[in-house]
Structure 1
Amino acid sequence: MNKENQLEEIFERLQEMLNSMKYGSITLIVQDGKIIQMERNEKLRIK
């Protein structure tokens, strides 16, 4: 898999994460200049 395809896959997964949550955070873990992990921390707001 070339670098352009890897970046495209990362952006697609990031977009899916953003679309599926209302409140929270997404953390990108970088090692040697490359994204190796994405973490999603979602908050539930109780009204």
Structure 2
Amino acid sequence: MDQERTKVILEALKNIEYGSLTITIHDGAITQIDRTEKTRFELRRSSAKNQRV
């Protein structure tokens, strides 16, 4: 594997908190790397909605 491609893969893995990394291979060679990152927010509800009667 080429060092440049290895570096790109490792950096993508190191810098992602939530998401996925897809490596596309054609004829035994890496041709594409897709990184999908998700940003998650904590759900905040008002106290009136959380109370049940």
Matched length: 42
Unaligned runs of 5+ in 2: 43-53
2:10 corresponding residue in structure 1: 15
Unaligned runs of 5+ in 1: none
The structure with more helix, counted as a fraction of residues: 1
**TM-score of the superposition, structure 1-length normalised?**
0.77
**Root-mean-square deviation over aligned CA pairs:** 1.1
The structure with more strand, counted as a fraction of residues: 1
Q: Does 1:35 align with 2:30?
A: yes
**TM-score of the superposition, structure 2-length normalised?**
0.70
